[in-house]
Structure 1
Amino acid sequence: MITKEYIVKITTQLYLKNGVKSVTIADISKELSTSKRTIYNHFIDKTDLMQACVEQYLAGIRSNNDEIINTCSSAIEAMGMIQQQILKRADYSNSNFYKDILKYYPSVLKDSYEKNVEFAFRELLYLSKWGVKEGLFRKDMDSEVTMAAIQTLLKLCNNSKIFPSKQFSKARLTEGIMVAYLRGFCTEEGLLEVEKQKHLYLNIE
């Protein structure tokens, strides 16, 4: 029996691989080896299915980030692990995934995406407080400004128009953007931790 959860899982994989526009309900039913009727038994239309896929995908990201934070030994290690996951998702996801949703299903992405951005920012604030408590980040750091800048820098690392992948490797961008910025608000102890965890920021090819 094909469940609603399984339909969402397989459909999300198709969207990430091919983009949204090019994937039809017929494509999804073929991939599932089932009929369109089975899909419509669980979802009103493609927009309803799209909403479920986006919510599950973003929920998976949040769960993954929580797991990283709970298992890492320092804020700097956690930030490196989270960045690795962001860049890896960018590599295996079709570049049209978000573009198609924004263009053809803007209402689907808006609320879910905004909630995810807010969640990510709260996590960064948590990491900043953790880093200050550990003595790795400077106590006079403005956490909100600093972490908002990090969110922007992470997006910048994924901007292929500004940094073409043939010219700028992910490791080079991380070294020149993220690591350089990270060093700026670290204490002496934090700088030592950055060097210790540097492989997490650079081993991303």
Structure 2
Amino acid sequence: MPVLYQYGLRTASDAKLAMAIDMSVTDLQAQYPSREALVSAAVLADTERQKRDHVALYAEFSSAVERLYGLLRLGLRDLASIPAAFYSELQNDFPSAWMVVVEHLNTYSAPQLQQLLNDGIRSRLFRSDININLVTKVLIEQINMMLNPVIFPPDRYNMAEVFRSIFLYYIRGLCTDEGARVSADHFARI
């Protein structure tokens, strides 16, 4: 993905892309007959990288609050490396690649969030009166809202700051007093 971030989804040359994945241009063009197929494969590979990052994060932190803030920290790190117009270009010019992102949110991120919320409620770090399905939907829709270039034009808003403003304060509101104490340390580091 770095070469796509650096040179753009449409404008990265096949030579640069082939070099980045240690392939010949001929092999690249044979394996990915269209730019859409290449971008979709790159986005899919990035979702798999995110999953590996999450496994490592879960090994580092045991509580649901720490894990949720850790996920936010990883999201902020990723957003800092992505050009402002990337998601807008992905949505508008590469619909099948964008569907990989949407599918990842629906089949991986949403269940992951539901499990974290459930774990946090059981360990009394999140309020017991929250509606897990509704809160999960709100969190996913906040991601969609954040990535919507009409709502947050990338040339006017820093996506990392939008991300921080949307999620960090919302998550603190889900916490019990005990969860807020755990949250305070992680919130200060993000």
Per-residue CA distance 1:114-172 (angstroms, 9 max, x = gap): 2211111111101001101111112121111122223344566677549734xx983x9
Whether 1:18 aligns to 2:7 is yes
Whether 1:46 aligns to 2:46 is no
Q: Which amino acid aligns with 1:116?
A: H
| Deviation, structure 1 residue 78 | 0.8
Aligned to 1:164: 157
Aligned equivalents of 1:70, 1:18: Cα separation in 2: 35
Aligned equivalents of 1:16, 1:116: Cα separation in 2: 20
Match of residue 65, structure 2, among 62, 70, 76: 76
Whether 1:56 aligns to 2:45 is yes
Aligned equivalents of 1:32, 1:185: Cα separation in 2: 42
Give the structure with higher Rg (CA).
1
Whether 1:142 aligns to 2:96 is no
Aligned to 1:3: none
TM-score when normalising by structure 2 = 0.79
Aligned to 2:83: 94
How many equivalent residue pairs? 185
Aligned equivalents of 1:143, 1:60: Cα separation in 2: 26
Q: Which amino acid aligns with 2:61?
A: C
Matches within 5 A, 1:110-129: 110=99, 112-118=100-106, 119-129=108-118
Identical columns (%): 16
- Describe the SS at the equivalent of 1:20: coil
CA 1:18–1:65 in 2, change beyond 3 Å: closer, same or farther? same
RMSD: 2.9
TM-score when normalising by structure 1 = 0.74
Per-residue CA distance 1:40-72 (angstroms, 9 max, x = gap): 343334333222212101111122223323431
Per-residue CA distance 1:13-43 (angstroms, 9 max, x = gap): 2112232011132332465686422323433
Structure 1, unpaired ranges of 5+:
1-11
CA 1:37–1:180 in 2, change beyond 3 Å: closer, same or farther? closer
CA 1:91–1:197 in 2, change beyond 3 Å: closer, same or farther? closer
Q: Which amino acid aligns with 1:113?
A: V
Per-residue CA distance 1:78-112 (angstroms, 9 max, x = gap): 111111111121111122333333322212331x1
Structure 2, unpaired ranges of 5+:
none
